[in-house]
Amino acid sequence: MLEEKFEKLKSMLASMQSILIAYSGGVDSAFLLKAASLVVPDSIMAVTAESPTYPSGEKDNAKEIANNLGIRHILVKIDELANPDFVKNNKDRCYWCKKELFTKFLDIAKEENLKYVVEASNYDDTFDYRPGLKAVKELEIRSPLIDLKFTKDEIREVSKSLGLSTWSKPSMACLSSRFPYGTKITEEALNRIDKAEMFLRQEGFSQVRVRHYDDLARIEVPEEELPKLLQEQTRKKIIAEFKKFGYVYVTIDIEGYRSGSMNLVDMG
């Protein structure tokens, strides 16, 4: 069943003939890039956005994967912080980000004579609040993983069989998703969140989110890793580092990591 679905994905991509792939180097986009590389390797361009809203280190990882697949890869600077509709961080924040991003990608595709722009949202994403998907539809960007109902678990399973290192990679997300809606997004705060999450990953936590409330940080890690987080030595080390980053209060979410937890509050 899953093999058949993957064959349908390859056929869909092959029928497009030439493709610009919005590519972050994460689980979904690396899977989509790999599938495309199997059918139209010489007619693909992978494009990664450079922005303060993206976790540091992801750019180098994306480069490495694209290079290993032999796919042309470019970086494009995006400045969401110049857009007041994005910065004020209302519930449609993601819409404005994706609209700017994919408008730029469409321009690049036109310049490069590529027929389609493709993005890697998966079927699970359709069950969460994702205003960015509205921009995707408006701009007629293709979402083959949604069209074929690929779930995240299925993507990981096929990625593993394909030998992709990303099959077990933790889910990543734009750093702006760490802010409650209505809280202004600033580069200083984005940098603070990025440093805090990088520190937690270096301490060996597999999946991390630092939810940002001005001078308070709410840490999410997987439920099974909470005991490690609460060890006295680890806890004190985290407190000391987070205060260096600018947080006055450091809290732990005892419910553990879950995707889109800010939406649970803000969408109520």
From first to last of its 268 residues, the chain has per-residue pLDDT tens of 899 999 999 999 999 999 999 999 999 999 999 999 999 999 999 999 999 999 887 888 899 999 999 999 999 999 999 999 999 999 999 999 999 999 999 999 999 999 999 999 999 999 988 999 999 999 999 999 999 999 999 999 999 999 999 999 998 889 999 999 999 999 999 999 999 999 999 999 999 999 999 999 999 999 999 999 999 999 999 999 999 999 999 999 999 998 755 555 554 4
Domain check: are 123 and 204 in the same one?
A: no
**Packing angle between helix 27-37 and helix 2-16, nearest 10 degrees?**
70
Do 179 and 164 lie in a common domain?
Answer: no
Instruction: Give the C-alpha separation, 39 to 95, whole Å.
Output: 31
Same domain assignment for residues 115 and 8: yes
Residue at which a domain ends, from 118, 138, 168: 168
What is the longest distance spanned by two Cα atoms in the chain? Answer: 58
pTM greater than 0.85 (yes/no):
yes
Length of the chain: 268
148 shares its domain with 180: no
- Here the tokens at position 166 are 């990303």
Determine contact, residues 144/8, Cβ cutoff 8 Å.
no
Instruction: Give the strands of the sheet with 19-22, arranged side by side.
Output: 72-77, 44-50, 19-22, 116-118
Same domain, 49 and 133: yes
Number of domains in the chain: 2
Res 1: pLDDT: 86
For residues 137 and 19, membership in a common domain is answered with yes
pLDDT score, position 108: 97
Nearby residues of 181 by Cβ (< 8 Å), 6 or more positions away: 89, 90, 91, 93, 262, 266
Q: Domain check: are 79 and 153 in the same one?
A: yes
CATH number for the domain that contains residue 49: 3.40.50.620
CATH number at residue 201: 3.30.70.2210
Instruction: Name the residue among 150, 109, 106 with its Cα closest to residue 126.
Output: 150
The dihedral formed by the CA atoms of 22, 26, 32 and 37, expressed in degrees to the nearest 10: 90
- Among residues 144, 168, 192, the one where a domain terminates is 168
79 lies in the same domain as 10: yes
Q: In terms of residue numbers, what domain contains 230?
A: 175-266
- The residue among 142, 163, 139, 159 whose CA lies nearest residue 151 is 159
